[in-house]
Amino acid sequence: MAVRAAAAAFALLASASAFATPAAEPSSPHPWQLNMREGVTHSSRMAYDAHMVALWICVVIGIVVFGAMFYAMWKFRHSKGAKPDVNFTHSTKLEIVWTLVPVILLVCMAWPATAKLIAMYDTRNSEMTVKVTGYQWMWKYEYLGEGVEFTSRLDKGSDAMRQSGKTPSWNNEADRNYLLDVDNVLVLPVNTKVRFVITADDVIHAWWVPSLGWKQDAIPGIINEAWTDIDTPGIYRGQCAELCGKDHGFMPIVVKAVSKVEYQRWLAEQKAKAGAPSPEAAHATAVDAMKASPEGIAPAQPATPDPSNTPTPEKAEPVTQ
Protein backbone atom coordinates (compact mmCIF):
# COMPACT_ATOMS: atom_id res chain seq x y z
CA MET A 1 0.00 0.00 0.00
CA ALA A 2 2.80 2.38 1.00
CA VAL A 3 4.61 1.44 -2.19
CA ARG A 4 1.61 2.35 -4.32
CA ALA A 5 1.08 5.64 -2.48
CA ALA A 6 4.74 6.47 -2.93
CA ALA A 7 4.62 5.59 -6.60
CA ALA A 8 1.58 7.84 -7.07
CA ALA A 9 3.24 10.71 -5.20
CA PHE A 10 6.39 10.41 -7.26
CA ALA A 11 4.46 10.10 -10.51
CA LEU A 12 2.60 13.30 -9.60
CA LEU A 13 5.83 15.10 -8.75
CA ALA A 14 7.49 13.86 -11.89
CA SER A 15 4.63 14.85 -14.15
CA ALA A 16 4.33 18.28 -12.52
CA SER A 17 7.97 18.92 -13.18
CA ALA A 18 7.93 17.76 -16.77
CA PHE A 19 6.79 21.25 -17.84
CA ALA A 20 5.43 21.58 -21.32
CA THR A 21 7.93 19.24 -22.94
CA PRO A 22 6.69 15.70 -22.50
CA ALA A 23 8.96 12.81 -23.37
CA ALA A 24 9.04 11.80 -27.00
CA GLU A 25 8.11 8.28 -25.92
CA PRO A 26 6.25 7.36 -22.74
CA SER A 27 9.00 5.04 -21.58
CA SER A 28 11.87 7.45 -22.11
CA PRO A 29 13.24 9.65 -19.32
CA HIS A 30 12.16 13.27 -19.25
CA PRO A 31 13.58 16.51 -17.84
CA TRP A 32 13.38 16.78 -14.05
CA GLN A 33 12.41 13.16 -13.66
CA LEU A 34 12.87 12.37 -9.96
CA ASN A 35 12.27 8.68 -9.58
CA MET A 36 13.40 5.62 -11.49
CA ARG A 37 11.12 4.27 -14.17
CA GLU A 38 8.78 1.40 -13.44
CA GLY A 39 9.58 -0.25 -16.77
CA VAL A 40 7.48 -2.68 -18.76
CA THR A 41 8.54 -6.14 -17.58
CA HIS A 42 8.22 -8.35 -14.50
CA SER A 43 11.90 -7.80 -13.71
CA SER A 44 11.69 -4.03 -13.97
CA ARG A 45 8.61 -3.91 -11.73
CA MET A 46 10.29 -6.13 -9.17
CA ALA A 47 13.32 -3.83 -9.18
CA TYR A 48 11.06 -0.79 -8.87
CA ASP A 49 9.15 -2.31 -5.92
CA ALA A 50 12.38 -3.22 -4.10
CA HIS A 51 13.63 0.29 -4.72
CA MET A 52 10.45 1.88 -3.36
CA VAL A 53 10.48 -0.29 -0.21
CA ALA A 54 14.11 0.68 0.48
CA LEU A 55 13.37 4.33 -0.29
CA TRP A 56 10.45 4.51 2.15
CA ILE A 57 12.41 2.73 4.88
CA CYS A 58 15.13 5.36 4.39
CA VAL A 59 12.56 8.17 4.48
CA VAL A 60 11.13 6.89 7.78
CA ILE A 61 14.61 6.47 9.29
CA GLY A 62 15.49 10.00 8.17
CA ILE A 63 12.36 11.47 9.72
CA VAL A 64 12.83 9.59 13.02
CA VAL A 65 16.55 10.38 13.37
CA PHE A 66 16.37 14.05 12.35
CA GLY A 67 13.12 14.49 14.32
CA ALA A 68 14.78 13.15 17.49
CA MET A 69 17.82 15.36 16.93
CA PHE A 70 15.85 18.54 16.32
CA TYR A 71 13.49 17.79 19.23
CA ALA A 72 16.44 17.23 21.61
CA MET A 73 18.18 20.37 20.44
CA TRP A 74 15.03 22.42 20.90
CA LYS A 75 13.73 20.90 24.13
CA PHE A 76 17.05 20.71 25.96
CA ARG A 77 18.64 23.93 24.81
CA HIS A 78 21.14 25.85 26.94
CA SER A 79 18.96 28.96 27.23
CA LYS A 80 16.29 26.90 29.01
CA GLY A 81 18.87 25.89 31.60
CA ALA A 82 19.43 22.32 30.37
CA LYS A 83 22.46 20.64 31.94
CA PRO A 84 24.40 17.86 30.11
CA ASP A 85 24.56 14.50 31.90
CA VAL A 86 28.33 14.34 32.34
CA ASN A 87 28.18 10.94 34.10
CA PHE A 88 26.47 9.12 31.23
CA THR A 89 28.67 6.35 29.79
CA HIS A 90 26.37 3.89 28.04
CA SER A 91 22.94 2.32 27.99
CA THR A 92 22.73 -1.42 27.35
CA LYS A 93 19.03 -1.17 26.53
CA LEU A 94 19.68 1.52 23.89
CA GLU A 95 22.56 -0.45 22.36
CA ILE A 96 20.37 -3.54 21.95
CA VAL A 97 17.67 -1.43 20.29
CA TRP A 98 19.98 0.32 17.83
CA THR A 99 21.55 -3.00 16.85
CA LEU A 100 18.32 -4.99 16.53
CA VAL A 101 16.31 -2.39 14.61
CA PRO A 102 18.79 -2.09 11.69
CA VAL A 103 19.21 -5.89 11.58
CA ILE A 104 15.43 -6.36 11.31
CA LEU A 105 15.21 -3.65 8.65
CA LEU A 106 18.04 -5.22 6.62
CA VAL A 107 16.41 -8.65 6.77
CA CYS A 108 13.08 -7.08 5.70
CA MET A 109 14.82 -5.66 2.63
CA ALA A 110 17.14 -8.61 1.85
CA TRP A 111 14.45 -11.30 1.98
CA PRO A 112 12.21 -10.00 -0.85
CA ALA A 113 15.24 -8.69 -2.79
CA THR A 114 16.80 -12.17 -2.83
CA ALA A 115 13.55 -13.79 -3.96
CA LYS A 116 13.30 -11.22 -6.75
CA LEU A 117 16.90 -11.76 -7.84
CA ILE A 118 16.34 -15.50 -8.08
CA ALA A 119 13.24 -14.91 -10.24
CA MET A 120 15.16 -12.48 -12.45
CA TYR A 121 17.71 -15.17 -13.30
CA ASP A 122 15.20 -17.95 -13.96
CA THR A 123 15.20 -18.33 -17.74
CA ARG A 124 13.18 -21.59 -17.76
CA ASN A 125 10.01 -21.88 -19.86
CA SER A 126 11.09 -19.21 -22.30
CA GLU A 127 9.26 -19.17 -25.62
CA MET A 128 12.07 -17.89 -27.84
CA THR A 129 15.78 -17.09 -27.65
CA VAL A 130 17.73 -14.16 -29.03
CA LYS A 131 21.50 -14.27 -29.11
CA VAL A 132 23.08 -10.87 -28.54
CA THR A 133 26.72 -10.32 -29.47
CA GLY A 134 28.58 -7.12 -28.67
CA TYR A 135 31.16 -5.78 -31.10
CA GLN A 136 33.23 -2.61 -31.20
CA TRP A 137 30.86 -0.82 -31.82
CA MET A 138 27.54 -2.41 -32.65
CA TRP A 139 25.27 -5.26 -31.63
CA LYS A 140 24.39 -8.39 -33.51
CA TYR A 141 21.04 -10.09 -32.93
CA GLU A 142 20.31 -13.68 -33.90
CA TYR A 143 16.83 -15.15 -33.51
CA LEU A 144 17.92 -18.68 -32.69
CA GLY A 145 16.18 -21.40 -34.66
CA GLU A 146 14.60 -18.88 -37.03
CA GLY A 147 17.54 -18.18 -39.34
CA VAL A 148 17.10 -14.44 -38.85
CA GLU A 149 20.07 -12.31 -37.83
CA PHE A 150 21.25 -8.76 -38.34
CA THR A 151 23.49 -6.11 -36.88
CA SER A 152 22.32 -2.95 -35.20
CA ARG A 153 24.43 0.20 -35.10
CA LEU A 154 24.14 3.91 -34.48
CA ASP A 155 21.88 5.53 -37.06
CA LYS A 156 23.38 7.91 -39.56
CA GLY A 157 21.44 10.94 -38.26
CA SER A 158 23.03 10.68 -34.81
CA ASP A 159 26.40 9.97 -36.36
CA ALA A 160 26.18 13.05 -38.62
CA MET A 161 25.13 15.20 -35.65
CA ARG A 162 28.05 14.07 -33.50
CA GLN A 163 30.55 14.69 -36.29
CA SER A 164 29.04 18.13 -37.03
CA GLY A 165 29.92 19.61 -33.64
CA LYS A 166 26.37 20.94 -33.20
CA THR A 167 24.68 20.65 -29.80
CA PRO A 168 21.44 18.67 -29.86
CA SER A 169 18.49 20.38 -28.20
CA TRP A 170 15.70 18.73 -26.21
CA ASN A 171 13.26 21.23 -27.68
CA ASN A 172 14.00 19.97 -31.16
CA GLU A 173 12.00 16.79 -31.48
CA ALA A 174 14.33 15.37 -34.12
CA ASP A 175 17.23 15.56 -31.63
CA ARG A 176 15.55 13.79 -28.74
CA ASN A 177 16.87 10.38 -29.59
CA TYR A 178 20.35 11.65 -30.34
CA LEU A 179 22.75 8.71 -29.88
CA LEU A 180 19.76 6.51 -29.03
CA ASP A 181 18.72 5.52 -32.55
CA VAL A 182 19.90 2.55 -34.58
CA ASP A 183 19.60 1.37 -38.16
CA ASN A 184 18.03 -2.00 -37.32
CA VAL A 185 15.90 -2.33 -34.19
CA LEU A 186 15.47 -5.52 -32.18
CA VAL A 187 11.83 -6.51 -32.73
CA LEU A 188 10.25 -8.58 -29.95
CA PRO A 189 6.70 -9.80 -29.33
CA VAL A 190 4.85 -8.60 -26.22
CA ASN A 191 3.67 -10.98 -23.48
CA THR A 192 6.27 -13.55 -24.48
CA LYS A 193 9.07 -14.86 -22.29
CA VAL A 194 12.15 -14.10 -24.36
CA ARG A 195 15.46 -15.59 -23.30
CA PHE A 196 18.66 -13.79 -24.21
CA VAL A 197 22.05 -15.38 -24.52
CA ILE A 198 24.58 -12.60 -24.40
CA THR A 199 28.22 -12.62 -25.40
CA ALA A 200 30.83 -10.45 -27.13
CA ASP A 201 33.30 -10.86 -29.94
CA ASP A 202 36.12 -8.51 -28.93
CA VAL A 203 36.00 -6.76 -25.55
CA ILE A 204 33.52 -6.67 -22.68
CA HIS A 205 30.27 -4.81 -23.43
CA ALA A 206 27.00 -4.77 -21.49
CA TRP A 207 23.52 -4.90 -22.92
CA TRP A 208 21.26 -2.51 -21.04
CA VAL A 209 17.72 -1.30 -21.70
CA PRO A 210 16.44 0.38 -18.52
CA SER A 211 12.76 -0.27 -19.28
CA LEU A 212 13.45 -4.01 -19.24
CA GLY A 213 14.87 -3.74 -15.73
CA TRP A 214 18.32 -5.30 -16.04
CA LYS A 215 21.71 -5.06 -17.64
CA GLN A 216 23.88 -8.00 -18.55
CA ASP A 217 27.59 -8.13 -19.31
CA ALA A 218 28.57 -9.34 -22.78
CA ILE A 219 31.92 -11.08 -22.28
CA PRO A 220 34.03 -12.75 -25.00
CA GLY A 221 34.14 -16.51 -24.45
CA ILE A 222 31.33 -16.46 -21.90
CA ILE A 223 27.60 -16.75 -22.51
CA ASN A 224 25.41 -14.94 -20.02
CA GLU A 225 21.67 -15.39 -19.82
CA ALA A 226 18.78 -13.06 -19.16
CA TRP A 227 15.09 -12.95 -19.95
CA THR A 228 12.31 -10.48 -20.47
CA ASP A 229 8.55 -10.36 -20.98
CA ILE A 230 7.53 -6.94 -22.25
CA ASP A 231 3.86 -6.23 -21.56
CA THR A 232 3.40 -2.94 -23.43
CA PRO A 233 4.09 -2.38 -27.12
CA GLY A 234 6.51 0.46 -27.71
CA ILE A 235 10.05 1.56 -28.36
CA TYR A 236 12.56 1.01 -25.56
CA ARG A 237 16.03 2.46 -25.76
CA GLY A 238 19.27 1.59 -24.06
CA GLN A 239 23.01 1.69 -24.41
CA CYS A 240 26.17 -0.31 -23.96
CA ALA A 241 26.87 -0.11 -20.23
CA GLU A 242 30.48 -1.25 -20.10
CA LEU A 243 33.32 1.02 -21.15
CA CYS A 244 34.42 -0.81 -24.29
CA GLY A 245 36.60 1.62 -26.21
CA LYS A 246 36.51 4.98 -27.92
CA ASP A 247 33.05 4.54 -29.42
CA HIS A 248 31.47 3.04 -26.30
CA GLY A 249 28.98 5.91 -26.23
CA PHE A 250 27.91 5.24 -29.80
CA MET A 251 26.46 1.75 -29.70
CA PRO A 252 22.87 2.27 -28.59
CA ILE A 253 20.16 -0.38 -28.33
CA VAL A 254 16.59 -0.01 -29.56
CA VAL A 255 13.94 -2.62 -28.77
CA LYS A 256 10.61 -2.43 -30.56
CA ALA A 257 7.91 -4.44 -28.81
CA VAL A 258 4.98 -5.35 -31.05
CA SER A 259 1.94 -7.60 -30.85
CA LYS A 260 2.49 -11.32 -31.43
CA VAL A 261 0.72 -11.15 -34.80
CA GLU A 262 2.81 -8.21 -35.93
CA TYR A 263 5.95 -9.99 -34.76
CA GLN A 264 5.10 -13.12 -36.77
CA ARG A 265 4.54 -10.96 -39.85
CA TRP A 266 7.87 -9.19 -39.33
CA LEU A 267 9.65 -12.50 -38.78
CA ALA A 268 8.21 -13.93 -42.00
CA GLU A 269 9.42 -10.84 -43.89
CA GLN A 270 12.89 -11.18 -42.44
CA LYS A 271 13.01 -14.88 -43.32
CA ALA A 272 11.96 -14.08 -46.87
CA LYS A 273 14.74 -11.50 -47.11
CA ALA A 274 17.28 -13.84 -45.56
CA GLY A 275 16.46 -16.65 -48.01
CA ALA A 276 19.22 -16.06 -50.57
CA PRO A 277 18.53 -17.48 -54.07
CA SER A 278 20.41 -20.63 -55.13
CA PRO A 279 23.34 -20.12 -57.58
CA GLU A 280 21.22 -21.59 -60.45
CA ALA A 281 18.35 -19.23 -59.72
CA ALA A 282 20.73 -16.26 -59.49
CA HIS A 283 22.25 -17.21 -62.88
CA ALA A 284 18.81 -17.56 -64.49
CA THR A 285 17.80 -14.14 -63.13
CA ALA A 286 20.96 -12.56 -64.56
CA VAL A 287 20.36 -14.15 -68.01
CA ASP A 288 16.73 -12.96 -67.99
CA ALA A 289 17.84 -9.47 -67.04
CA MET A 290 20.31 -9.43 -69.96
CA LYS A 291 17.61 -10.53 -72.39
CA ALA A 292 15.20 -7.92 -71.08
CA SER A 293 17.75 -5.12 -71.32
CA PRO A 294 17.51 -3.36 -74.72
CA GLU A 295 21.29 -3.14 -75.14
CA GLY A 296 21.69 -6.76 -74.12
CA ILE A 297 24.04 -5.87 -71.32
CA ALA A 298 23.80 -6.80 -67.72
CA PRO A 299 22.08 -4.29 -65.46
CA ALA A 300 24.33 -2.02 -63.44
CA GLN A 301 25.92 -3.55 -60.37
CA PRO A 302 24.75 -2.25 -57.01
CA ALA A 303 26.60 0.82 -55.81
CA THR A 304 29.82 0.31 -53.88
CA PRO A 305 28.98 -0.16 -50.19
CA ASP A 306 29.17 2.97 -48.10
CA PRO A 307 32.61 2.82 -46.39
CA SER A 308 31.14 4.24 -43.20
CA ASN A 309 29.08 1.09 -42.96
CA THR A 310 31.80 -1.47 -43.56
CA PRO A 311 31.83 -3.12 -40.11
CA THR A 312 28.26 -4.30 -40.73
CA PRO A 313 28.78 -7.78 -42.15
CA GLU A 314 25.23 -8.80 -42.98
CA LYS A 315 23.10 -5.71 -42.85
CA ALA A 316 19.40 -6.48 -42.80
CA GLU A 317 16.81 -4.16 -44.22
CA PRO A 318 15.69 -1.48 -41.75
CA VAL A 319 12.46 -2.31 -40.01
CA THR A 320 9.57 -0.19 -41.13
CA GLN A 321 8.44 1.90 -38.20
Footprint on this chain of Cu ion (rule: CB under 5 A): 205, 240, 244
Distances (CA, A) of 288 to 76, 273, 284: 100, 21, 6
The least CB distance from residue 237 to Cu ion, in Å, is 15
- CA dihedral in degrees (146, 151, 153, 155; nearest 10)? -70
Region of residue 114 (phi > 0: left; psi between -120 and 50: alpha; otherwise: beta): alpha
Closest to Cu ion by CB, 209 or 244 = 244
Distances (CA, A) of 250 to 29, 31, 292: 19, 22, 45
In the bound state with Cu ion, the residue whose beta carbon lies nearer, of 299 and 311, is 311
**Of residues 179 and 244, the one with the C-beta less far from Cu ion:** 244
Q: Which is nearer to Cu ion, 225 or 247 (CB)?
A: 247
Q: Which is nearer to Cu ion, 30 or 205 (CB)?
A: 205
Q: How many CB atoms lie within 10 A of CB 162?
A: 16
- What minimum distance in Å lies between the beta carbon of 248 and Cu ion? 5
**Least CB distance from residue 245 to Cu ion, whole Å?**
7
Question: Who's near 151: CB < 8 A, 6+ residues apart?
Answer: 135, 138, 139, 140, 141, 184, 312, 313, 314, 315, 316
| Nearest to Cu ion of 244, 255 (CB atom) | 244
**Number of other residues whose CB lies within 10 A of the CB of residue 41:** 25
The CA–CA distances, whole Å, from 147 to 93, 270, 274, 276 equal 68, 9, 8, 12
Closest distance to Cu ion from the beta carbon of 315 (Å): 19
Q: Which is nearer to Cu ion, 146 or 217 (CB)?
A: 217
Least gap, CB of 206 to Cu ion (angstroms): 7
φ, ψ at 81 (rounded to 5°): 85, 20
For 202, phi then psi, to 5°, come to -130, -65
Helix, strand, coil fractions of the chain, as percent rounded to 5: 40, 20, 40
